[in-house]
Structure 1
Amino acid sequence: MPGPPILTSPPKASPGDRVAVLSPSFAAPGFAPAVHEQAMARLADLTGLTPVEYPTTRRLGASARDRAADLNSAFADPEMRAVLATIGGEDQITVVPHLDPTLILSDPKPFLGYSDNTNLLCWLWTHGVAGFYGGSTQVHLGPGPHVDEVHARSLRAALLTGERLEVTDPDESEDVGRDWLDPRALHEFGDREATEPWEWAGPPKSVTGRTWGGCIDVLQWILTAGRFPADPSVLSGGILLLETSEELIPATEFGWIVRSLGERGLLEAVDAVVVARPPASSLEVRPTKQACAAHRQEQRDVAIETIGRYNPDAVVVVGVPFGHTRPQWILPYGGSMTVDGVSRRIWADYA
């Protein structure tokens, strides 16, 4: 049995270093440049780093080969000390085959992204390099009157300090902000509401382990494409991260995918599962508050029931603010987290 992989945690950047800002999926900066430019200014102000764009960062409709060429170039450039994704999308699975693993292994550097960037994070993970789940510049840095404090803290920890932080609830959340083409997007948040308490299940024990997972919509594509080790023991003792996208899949479909992870042996292998607070609305779909609350409760119930069926010994927590939510915590991907079912607290190690 292969057991868990040995992962490299890339070194941190220092103020004044250059970091690549790329669009491995959708080139959102080409669609809404004002939000992107505010994001670049805020990234520099928050970190002291110099963001560098590549040819396809703003190029709408760029081919998979061209986007991969920019990724390969950024990972190969010794002056680039991190790589950040502007946003996700839905076709990064076609970019991954064009990536060169020798480049990331010769000079590992942190990669930050979520949603469709689950493809790239998983590819890095399978090649032995840890990353960070979260950090879309177009979603969490550019819009609104300021950057949320929990996002800023975890961003600096991921890029610069490598400290250990407690993951806390910010007590408010939004699924979607203002339309990027609306001038208010630059100085107003979306409609925020109070969060619900996290729901815990499983035994009262503390688990520390390396993370894997991501956007469940994308994980099923990765597994279908055969881009994850066949032996589930690679997740032994680990922590599974699960979240859903703005596609707003029903709780039933979420449960089917989690069930498939169980049949694959992945749920049994891990010692803890962290499920994000799911989005329940989008720019196009605006349910009532009651309907949104019902959607979240249904997904919580399905998550706890399905995970418990396959692994009753796993510590489970549902409602954590990562993934498709704001404020957003950036979390280690392949790095270490502690999920304490006794104190009902979570810590993330950004080393």
Structure 2
Amino acid sequence: MIAHTYPRKPRPGDRVAVLSPSSGLPGLLPLPYELGVRRLREDFGVEVVEYPTTRRMGASARDRAADLHAAFADPTVKAVIASIGGDDQITVLPHLDAELLRTNPKPFFGYSDNTNLLAYLWNLGVVGYHGGSAMVELGRPGAMHPLTAESLRAALFGSGPYELTAPKESGDVNRPWQEPETFTAEPEMAAAEGWWWHQGDRVVEGTGWGGNLEILSWLLMADREIRPVEEYRGGVLFLETSEEMPPAAEVYRILRCMGERGLLRQFPALMVARAKAWSFERPLDAPGKERYRREQREAVLRALGEYAPGTMAVFDVDFGHTDPQLVIPYGGRIRVDGRERRITVTY
């Protein structure tokens, strides 16, 4: 497995880039973006630096890559945060200068479509951070969730072990970002059950790899940023799904393909995020959410049973498209302790 290095962390007062490597939604939906930027400045105490495509919808892949190069090459910029995800960051990867990014490593924060860049940095031996977008987590209506803020602050400024906390509440119901009223109150939350363990009778510690399952499937199809399967041996796989809410059958099929490739069995531990189970297109009620998540878990367990029967798994961990959201170090150390029911990451 590639040796990974943690980039030096920023300190309050430092300059931090906010980029849109996927989608320039800050230009269309300024309310959550400007709220997120304000919190970065006022609550986290950093100086925010924007780039030409940060607020520009339809920017070319080449232009978005140029902004990434500018941010990483600038010695006064100490970290890079994605504004939000999207669906075409895979087209940016061919335009990236690997040597520039390798020799100017910065902590990069993003998830969803930013799985592309996180996997790219993983292959360069640079630890990234799965989570913490400007528009969603930092721009959360009403207030940042305390667990999100604590995890993001620890990942952005800190180093060393950080134990993840299972929340007592979670939410996935959104309100329209176009409406100012949305930002007058926090999102609707519901009681959350704890983590669900499968074969939690051991301790596994390894390098984290994974991200958004849909994006990983695209990388696999395009044969981008996927290394020989043996190079993932002994790592901790972490997977999450998006607001597009893929059906359980599709989740199983993606994992089946990863299994046929010999990839699943390389990981002795798997973390699966609490599946987002509500969208404007599919506003499921409470029983519908429970059923959707159960079917997702059954799909994962089916694939593990067929391709990685010895893998330990823990479900409903709050990372990715979750509220609250815990930041996962991509390429960093993750310790999954099934005996004590604890997960500790190293930021």
Query: Given the two structures, how large is their TM-score scaled by the length of structure 1?
Result: 0.96
User: In the alignment, which residue of structure 1 is the partner of 2:206?
Assistant: 209
SS in 2 for 1:278: coil
User: What number of residue pairs does the alignment pair up?
Assistant: 347
Q: 1:117 to 1:176 in 2, by over 3 A?
A: farther
Deviations 1:286-338 (A, max 9, x none): 12221111000111122123213322222100110001111100111000111
User: In the alignment, which residue of structure 1 is the partner of 2:191?
Assistant: 194
User: In the alignment, which residue of structure 1 is the partner of 2:107?
Assistant: 110
**Is 1:280 matched up with 2:290?**
no
Provide the rounded CA distance (Å) in 2 between the counterparts of 1:229 and 1:254. 19
User: In the alignment, which residue of structure 1 is the partner of 2:43?
Assistant: 46
Deviations 1:200-220 (A, max 9, x none): 112511111110001000001
- Correspondence list, 1:107-256, <5 A: 107-256=104-253
Provide the rounded CA distance (Å) in 1 between the counterparts of 2:229 and 2:332. 18
Q: Is the 8 A contact 1:216 1:242 kept in 2?
A: yes
Q: Is the 8 A contact 2:167 2:324 kept in 1?
A: yes
SS in 2 for 1:75: helix
Provide the rounded CA distance (Å) in 1 between the counterparts of 2:111 and 2:9. 19
Runs of 4+ in 1 over 3 A off after TM superposition: none
SS in 2 for 1:138: coil
- Structure 1: runs of 5 or more not aligned: none
Provide the rounded CA distance (Å) in 1 between the counterparts of 2:181 and 2:303. 41
Percentage identity across paired residues of the two chains:
49
**Is 1:21 matched up with 2:5?**
no
User: In the alignment, which residue of structure 2 is the partner of 1:316?
Assistant: 313
For residue 33 of structure 1, the aligned residue among 11, 30, 34 is 30
- Structure 2: runs of 5 or more not aligned: none
Provide the rounded CA distance (Å) in 2 between the counterparts of 1:299 and 1:64. 33
Query: Given the two structures, how large is their TM-score scaled by the length of structure 2?
Result: 0.97
RMSD: 1.2
Deviations 1:202-261 (A, max 9, x none): 251111111000100000111111123442111111000111111111111101111111
User: In the alignment, which residue of structure 2 is the partner of 1:7?
Assistant: 4
Moved more, 211-220 or 186-195: 186-195
Provide the rounded CA distance (Å) in 2 between the counterparts of 1:28 and 1:228. 26
User: In the alignment, which residue of structure 1 is the partner of 2:299?
Assistant: 302
Provide the rounded CA distance (Å) in 1 between the counterparts of 2:243 and 2:298. 20
Instruction: Give, as a single letter, the amino acid of the residue that structure 2 aligns with 1:348.
Output: V
Deviations 1:150-205 (A, max 9, x none): 11111112211114221112221122422111112223233221223321112511
Q: Is the 8 A contact 2:32 2:141 kept in 1?
A: no
Q: Is the 8 A contact 1:22 1:84 kept in 2?
A: yes
Q: 1:230 to 1:56 in 2, by over 3 A?
A: closer
Moved more, 27-36 or 109-118: 27-36
User: In the alignment, which residue of structure 1 is the partner of 2:338?
Assistant: 341
SS in 2 for 1:292: helix
User: In the alignment, which residue of structure 2 is the partner of 1:63?
Assistant: 60
Provide the rounded CA distance (Å) in 1 between the counterparts of 2:100 and 2:68. 10
Provide the rounded CA distance (Å) in 2 between the counterparts of 1:63 and 1:248. 27
Provide the rounded CA distance (Å) in 1 between the counterparts of 2:140 and 2:296. 28
Q: CA deviation at 1:270?
A: 0.9
SS in 1 for 2:181: helix
